[in-house]
Amino acid sequence: MFGFPFQAEIIDDSIYYMGKEHALGHMAVELMNSIGDSDLLLHVTAARFPIEQALDAMQMSCLDEAPFTAVRQYLFWQLEALAQLPPFQGMDTAAEQAQITELFSPETAKQIQAWQKLQAELTANDPTEAQIRHILSLPNAPEAHPGKALFDAAKGYLRFCLELLDDLADADWCFRPFIRCVNDLESFKVDKLAGLAGKLFRKTGFSARTEYEIRTYEDDDCDVVRIMEFSNYRSLLMTDFFEGIQWNHYPRRCPVCGRVFLMEKAYRQKYCTGNAPLELTGGRVFACADWALRKESGFQKEAAEASEVKRIYTNTTGSIRKYKSLGTITAEQSEAAKRLALEKRDEAIRNMEYAAGAYPVEMTYSNLMEEVRNGAEKNH
């Protein structure tokens, strides 16, 4: 069954496992996107209580079969969720489900109960140490009973699943603030990235066994291969993350689609290489970077048009003040013209089609004053 210890190889800025090459740092990215895209954490953590119940049932002198076999469905849910995450993406989920079904079956429960009964009989008469050694040496001794191996396998699997829940929650708690804070760095060099990680993660200890191998290829090239064996999921995630930092690989969130992507030495890359959400683009397909550029150009165009609207308004009201001071128009006409100019300016700001069409024509001094005089005549 899947589990740890888990082995991976690190060569330069890549990590290899299950026969595939990945850029260092990719695990945090895939984890955060899987958590953000689905109810992964919900499905995984929903299994905690049933798993704890099953473990409690196994601690009893006689196994309670009901919670032991009921835990299977929750383990299936956890398995489906984990299959979205590295390094579990390549596992055979159908085979894993079959093994879970067998390990937590009523038949297994009966085998464990039979072994527990033998255990109880061994200690019932308060035997001496010599008698215990004699009983254990017999072919039908409790330690040789198949229920003992099944008990150990089931208990080990359930404990592994609980540790995995803690590792996932811990990783989510660690990576989320890093992704949130990374954009505030003054630069994205290794020392700044490591400083941020050190501040957020503080002292991060994890268990891993390391061996080195010099691997030579047919063309006489060779690599120093670091072969690492990880005892738990957290140690694998953290090693991949911190090794990635050393190569300037780090997770960053795309401001367009909100997904996390892996930066690989492109210090100023702001957007991921995926597509912007269709609900954002009106159903049209745009890469996130292209959509951001399009929006930025649109904002610049709108700003330029708004600036032209205000320039025309300023020129027209300047003419109104000038001709009022010369006595060409009355104070009442001046006030009416300024009110009308303000209304037209506000409409142009709200309606860019009007701003680009009728607004410049209507806002010439002669046209505006003609409209003011026509309005005054209608009122009389």
CB 315 within 8 A of CB 360: no
Residues in CB range of 345: below 8 A, 6 or more apart: 309, 310, 312, 313, 363
pLDDT tens profile 282-324: 778 888 888 887 776 665 555 566 678 888 999 999 999 999 9
Residues sharing a CB contact under 8 Å with residue 49, sequence separation 6 or more, in sequence order: none
| 85 vs 156: CA distance, rounded Å | 21
- Judge whether 53 and 71 are in contact, CB under 8 Å: yes
Give residue-wise pLDDT tens across range 13-32: 999 987 788 999 998 888 88
Q: How far apart are the first and last CA of the chain?
A: 94
* Whole-angstrom distance, CA of residue 218 vs CA of residue 322: 89
In whole angstroms, give the CA distance from residue 23 to residue 227: 16
Helix axis angle, 146-181 to 190-201, nearest 10°: 120
Q: Is 363 helix (H, G, I), strand (E, B) or coil?
A: coil
Which pLDDT band holds residue 37 (cuts at 50, 70, 90)? low
Q: Indicate the residue type of 75.
A: L
Does the pTM surpass 0.85? The reply is: no
For range 73-90, the mean pLDDT: 82
Contact 260/251 with Cβ under 8 angstroms?
yes
Per the model's pLDDT, the better-predicted residue between 267 and 236 turns out to be 236
Q: Is it the case that residue 105 has pLDDT exceeding 90?
A: yes
Query: 244-253, pLDDT tens digit by residue?
Result: 999 999 999 9
Cβ distance 30 to 241 under 8 Å? no
Phi, psi angle pair for 227, to nearest 5°: -100, 120
Chain segment 335-378, per-residue pLDDT in tens: 999 999 999 988 887 777 788 889 999 999 999 999 988 877 66
Mean pLDDT computed over every residue of the chain: 82
Q: Considering only CA atoms, which of 178, 332, 170, 167 is closest in space to residue 251? A: 178
Give Cα separations from 137 to 86, 131, 323 (angstroms).
45, 10, 118
Least Cα distance to 238 among 285, 186, 283, 202 occurs for 202
* 3-state SS string for 258-310: CCEEEEECCCCCCCCCCECCHHHHCCCCCEHHHHHHHHHHHHHHHHHHHHHHH
pLDDT at 340: 93
Rounded CA-CA distance 380/378 in Å is 5
Lowest-confidence region among 6-10, 107-111, 215-219:
215-219
Query: Which residue in the block uniquely carries the two structure tokens 């600036």?
Result: 307
Residue 239 structure tokens:
């090693």
